[in-house]
Chains A and B, each alone.
Chain A
Amino acid sequence: MADSSKGKKKKTTDDATGGDAPKDWNPRIVGFLCNWCSYTGADLAGVSRLQYTPEFIPIRVMCSGSVDVAYILKALLEGADGVLIGGCHLGDCHYLNGNYKARRRVAVVKEVMEGVGLDPRRLHLEWISASESGKFAKTVSTFDETLRQLGPNPLAKERLL
């Protein structure tokens, strides 16, 4: 597909607003964490006193594959600067393969985001096992850093959506 590689060269989506971020702004992250792996990993991170941005708000779901696309979009429309989805590693899903299905949905939502001018990096999928507290904290921190570069979610300032 010649045209899509053309598109890649020129960055098609850039909603970066980093320049005009308010001083006291910290990226708000909504995290959908699967009960069996990532949520437990997040528990362990806290117990291990690992630090990350307090603007990360966890939501417990049973499986990364149960995260509806509507929830992801809802979070972004409600002004979350980023959405993190944490699931079990591939092959380790408590429900056999929900994470594979999650991966497909995330791929679609990322395309939709890019297609309307919302930076797809605002949606982040990561496999974090119950024992990977370090990876959990690091994932949140790295994501926070990415969002700082991107600046506030441009949808957050739109009042009439």
Chain B
Amino acid sequence: MPGLRKVDRLKKLLLLLPCDEEMEKLLDTRSLAEEMDDPENWVFARSDPRLCGPDRSDYIADLVKETEAQAIIVGGPSDRTHGSVWRQEASFVGIPPDRVELVPLVQQCVYVTDEKDAARRRAKIMIESALARVDTGIDRAVERVKAMQAVLVIGGGVAGMQAAWDLADFGRQVYLVERTGELGGRAHQLSRTYPTQDCKPDGCCPQSCRDCQFTPRIDLVTSHPLIELLLESEVKSIKGGIGGYQIEVHSPEVSRLLEVGAIVVATGNVMFDAEEMGELSPWHPDVISFLELEKLIDWQRKEDHAWAPLRRPSDGKVPKNIHFLQCVGSRDEHHGTIDCSLVCCTYAVGQAKDLKDMLPDATVAIHYMDMRGPYRGFERHYLEAQESGVLFMRGRVVEIEPDNGNLILSYEDIDIGEPVTMEADLVVLSVGQLPTPGTAELAQMLGVPLDEDGYIGEDNTTYSLWDRRGVYVVGCAAGPRGIRYSVRDGREAALSIDAVLRRVQIELADNIAEVDDERCVGCGQCVESCEYDAKTLEERTDLQTGRKYRDAIVEPRRCWGCGNCHATCPSTAISLSGFSDDQLVRQVEIASGGHR
């Protein structure tokens, strides 16, 4: 392996942290350090209260200077909780991340037994196996890759637009790929957004909601010189990884290859299609979704430039009996999704109140399960709707039957506890939200997992590695959320991307698979077993003999460091830094019976 040197033995600084008082009662780290201190064999063990205090870094720097340590083994916290802390600490004194090993004495050793002797013996075995593991590591330089500075944004809704506009504003080239022919996404199909901050058109704001100053404006995005807009376009393939993605985009009549450093996924989500719930007569022209209602309201506003009476689709009559059905295809085990869509209560209340304002004589009712409005201003909004005469009825409507030009709703009123039927002449369905079709394919191309609900998993602790993947999921592509949160997502992604790409050279994390060309036979089993398409087979020519051969190569930017390739390769030609055969075998030897 070019650039790699096998390590014979290292000077190791063993730090046993006396920071957990309760643990000290069971395991005296000071005496253990004295026992394990073995300068002759290059083990320098210390246990000192300074390791727990504010001067820790200075103390460690002194120790490293004194012992010339090349590796640090920390006895105390677990890698899962404190690995990053100690790797950073080590980096301050020039020790690379794969030369840091944590022995979880607190979490996995002293408390498992009441017998102090047994705990101490176990601690020693765990520490010795860690020492052995570090000793047999490979001297490996941190992998650095060059960062392309352009960014791809997939999806031109408000979240994608915001990300694109911010990134362009930072001076980056942005490619904004949108599947449809126009920008704006769902937010721009809405006539108004709720809760309003008293900014309705008869208030002081001169803008219509879709051009709200709080959401990115289409004309600002389209006119920005650094944003290249690719409408009616789709991403066909994604290769590479952070800092160096190659993206194939198909636009009408042209296919392009874009090179970018990071990707913003802003593909939104889709509305549940009530078609499958025949009992609600979704085919009936007067059973409409909230988005269709928005179109009706919008049309009215445009035609008359005033609060003209709304007319229902079937016969153009002014409705007198309008019923909103909440949670259609959401919070439902049988249809749509089990999840709450977060925004429907808010807009249904807003639309109902607006309708009540438009048609004061009409009955406007909302059939709901719980009122959920996790937004600032919602409660006031809700109270105002109640005061304006909107009826709130708790219970799920189970059937809608057309009857003589009208609709009969059957449902059980939970507050009364009885089945009820009720007449309506217009029904509005607040439908659930589902992942955009094609999300799974996109995730596959990106090499990122889906959550159990079919959305691309949000960036949380489990997926913290994403920061080095250069994939940022924003807006409803990561699950339902309100407009302002989607916009904020876009802004956050732009900031994060800018911070990462600005470094020009990106340091990839440790644990990346590496191929030993001398051992690789090009069988391709690692390629098959890699879930992230991080490996390919490449035909090469031996420069000395001219002989051709096949070898696996790793695209380090796509490697997640799982090590499945290593276990699949019978030749052990591929291994994970920090988890090499040498290291694991030595560790296993000690763990298996070292202290019989």
- Which residues of A are interface residues toward B (Cβ below 8 A)? 28, 30, 35-36, 39-40, 42-47, 49-63, 65-71, 74-76, 78-80, 91, 94-98, 101-102, 105, 156
Contact A28 B593 (CB under 8 A): yes
Contact A54 B119 (CB under 8 A): yes
Contact A46 B576 (CB under 8 A): no
How far is A99 from B385 in the complex, measured between Cα atoms in Å? 52
Chain A residues within an 8 Å CB radius of B588:
30, 59, 71, 74-75, 78
Closest to B79 in A: A60
Chain A residues within an 8 Å CB radius of B79:
35, 39, 60
How far is A63 from B579 in the complex, measured between Cα atoms in Å? 11
Sample of 6 more A-B contacts, CB < 8 Å, known A30-B591, A57-B126: A47-B111, A53-B113, A59-B591, A66-B579, A71-B584, A71-B588
Contact B104 A46 (CB under 8 A): yes
Taking a contact as CB atoms closer than 8 A, the residue among B78, B122, B564 that contacts A66 in the complex is: B564
Q: Shortest distance in angstroms between A107's beta carbon and chain B's nearest beta carbon? A: 14
Q: Shortest distance in angstroms between A96's beta carbon and chain B's nearest beta carbon? A: 5
Given A43-B107, A51-B113, A54-B121: A101 touches B564 (CB 8 Å cut-off): yes
Contact B562 A63 (CB under 8 A): yes
Interface of B is mostly: helix
How far is A73 from B585 in the complex, measured between Cα atoms in Å? 10
Chain B residues within an 8 Å CB radius of A43:
78, 80-81, 104, 107-108
Chain B residues within an 8 Å CB radius of A50:
111-112
Quick check: is B86 within 8 A (CB to CB) of the other chain? Answer: no
Contact A54 B564 (CB under 8 A): no
Quick check: is B152 within 8 A (CB to CB) of the other chain? Answer: no
Contact B567 A62 (CB under 8 A): no
Taking a contact as CB atoms closer than 8 A, the residue among B111, B118, B531 that contacts A46 in the complex is: B111
Quick check: is B149 within 8 A (CB to CB) of the other chain? Answer: no
Give the contacts of B109-133 with A (CB-CB under 8 A): 109-115, 118-119, 121-122, 125-126, 129
Contact A52 B112 (CB under 8 A): yes
| Contact bitstring B579-596, A, C-beta under 8 A = 1, else 0 | 101001101110111001
Contact A46 B562 (CB under 8 A): no
A sample of 26 cross-chain residue pairs with beta-carbon separation below 8 angstroms, ordered by A number, consists of A30-B588, A35-B79, A46-B109, A49-B111, A50-B111, A51-B114, A54-B113, A57-B125, A59-B584, A59-B591, A65-B563, A68-B566, A68-B567, A68-B581, A69-B567, A71-B588, A74-B585, A74-B588, A76-B592, A78-B593, A80-B593, A94-B562, A95-B564, A96-B449, A98-B562, A102-B567
Given A46-B106, A57-B125: A74 touches B566 (CB 8 Å cut-off): no
Contact B564 A47 (CB under 8 A): no
How far is A17 from B400 in the complex, measured between Cα atoms in Å? 72
Closest to A92 in B: B452
How far is A61 from B583 in the complex, measured between Cα atoms in Å? 11
Contact B111 A51 (CB under 8 A): yes
Contact A78 B576 (CB under 8 A): no
Interface of A is mostly: mixed
Q: Shortest distance in angstroms between A44's beta carbon and chain B's nearest beta carbon? A: 8
By Cβ-Cβ distance, the 8 closest A-B pairs, closest first, are: A66-B563, A79-B593, A78-B592, A95-B562, A43-B107, A46-B107, A80-B592, A57-B591
Taking a contact as CB atoms closer than 8 A, the residue among B78, B111, B564 that contacts A65 in the complex is: B564
Q: Shortest distance in angstroms between A155's beta carbon and chain B's nearest beta carbon? A: 10
Contact A57 B563 (CB under 8 A): no
Q: Shortest distance in angstroms between A84's beta carbon and chain B's nearest beta carbon? A: 11
Contact B560 A95 (CB under 8 A): yes
How far is A68 from B241 in the complex, measured between Cα atoms in Å? 27
Closest to B563 in A: A66
Q: Shortest distance in angstroms between B554's beta carbon and chain A's nearest beta carbon? A: 15
Give the contacts of B355-375 with A (CB-CB under 8 A): none
Chain A residues within an 8 Å CB radius of B300:
none
Quick check: is B561 within 8 A (CB to CB) of the other chain? Answer: yes
Q: Shortest distance in angstroms between B254's beta carbon and chain A's nearest beta carbon? A: 34
Chain B residues within an 8 Å CB radius of A62:
511, 561-563, 576, 579
Quick check: is B544 within 8 A (CB to CB) of the other chain? Answer: no
Quick check: is B191 within 8 A (CB to CB) of the other chain? Answer: no
Contact B107 A47 (CB under 8 A): yes
Closest to B125 in A: A57
Chain B residues within an 8 Å CB radius of A69:
567
Q: Shortest distance in angstroms between B310's beta carbon and chain A's nearest beta carbon? A: 47
Contact A59 B562 (CB under 8 A): no
Contact B462 A30 (CB under 8 A): no
How far is A50 from B579 in the complex, measured between Cα atoms in Å? 29
Q: Shortest distance in angstroms between B25's beta carbon and chain A's nearest beta carbon? A: 13
Contact A63 B129 (CB under 8 A): no
Q: Shortest distance in angstroms between A102's beta carbon and chain B's nearest beta carbon? A: 8
